[in-house]
Homo-oligomer: A and B are copies of this chain.
Amino acid sequence: MAARASSETSESSDKVSVICRALRRAIIEQALEPGAKLPEDALGERFGVSRTIARHALGQLAAEGLVELRRNRIAVVATPSWQEARDAFDIRIELERLVVRQLAGKLSKSQIAELNAHVDAEDRARGGTDAVSIRLATEFHILLAHMTNSPILVRYVSEVAYRCCLTLSLYSRPHSTECAINEHRAIIAALAKGDATKVMELMHHHLDSVATRALVAPAPQRGRDLLDILAPYADEVTSNRVVKLPKVARRG
């Protein structure tokens, strides 16, 4: 075993990996909102590397779907559409059902303890900012994925979970973490008991309710192409005019 460590994604002490991790975390903690600009020079200067490296990191993040890369334009934090968000959650449900199916009844005492410790941390973070709560909740799922010992599964679950995180920061305003934490505890219990179908059902329900809590209205209220938001209002003004709107104010 071992020896497979590097590559695969994330780990390794490459400069670009470091930047990727930093940006990833900044994005899922909403320090960088969707739509935020990510100029190569600024990134390079901030992290003490050249544009080449910053650029490479942006490429990786774009492959993960966290960053949007447009030719000859400044890269921005991705702004998933409502439909993309829904798709991401659908995929996530299947992936995580697989995770818990593989894990049910297979966890050691220390692993159960580790999971419980993490949920305790989530509990303690309840008073803090939403961003940290969301991050911890996401990390719980990634921790589960890690326990499958399948690097591929870890990668996919992480990626799709990060994407969902991004979504949450976009569409879900008043975030209630309490129930999610209880659901996490229930999942751990079922996992320990070894009831595969039960835990799959729990996970399904858990993610489904997170998704519906988040994606109640298919209408993105904030950000996201002013053009789309204003489309219905524009009709009465510009029945014949081409939809030009020369310079739209850019957030941030």
Contacts and interface: CB of A to CB of B under 8 A. Distances in A.
Interface of A: 4, 6-9, 12, 14, 16, 52, 55-56, 59-60, 62-65, 68-71, 81, 83-84, 87-88, 90-91, 94-95, 97-98, 102, 150-153, 155-156, 160, 163
A4 to B, nearest CB: 8
20 contacts: A6-B71, A7-B62, A7-B70, A8-B65, A55-B56, A65-B155, A83-B150, A84-B150, A87-B150, A87-B153, A88-B152, A90-B98, A90-B102, A90-B153, A91-B98, A91-B152, A91-B153, A94-B98, A152-B160, A156-B160
B156 A91 contact: yes
Given A6-B69, A59-B59, A71-B6, A95 B84 contact: no
Q: Is the interface of A mostly helix, strand, loop or mixed?
A: helix
Contacts of A98: 90-91, 94
A59 B56 contact: yes
A61 B137 CA distance: 30
Contacts of A52: 52
Contacts of A152: 65, 84, 87-88, 91, 160, 163
A190 B90 CA distance: 22
A198 B90 CA distance: 20
Nearest to A88: B152
Contacts of A7: 62, 68-70
Contacts of A88: 152
Contacts of A95: 91, 94-95
Per CB-CB distance, the 6 closest pairs between chain A and chain B, nearest first, are: A87-B150, A94-B94, A63-B63, A87-B152, A94-B98, A7-B69
Nearest to A98: B94
Nearest to A97: B94
A71 B5 CA distance: 12
A141 to B, nearest CB: 15
A52 B56 CA distance: 10
Contacts of A55: 56
A71 to B, nearest CB: 7
A63 B81 CA distance: 24
Given A7-B69, A63-B64, 14 more contacts: A4-B81, A6-B69, A7-B68, A7-B70, A84-B150, A87-B151, A88-B152, A90-B150, A91-B95, A91-B98, A94-B95, A94-B98, A152-B160, A156-B160
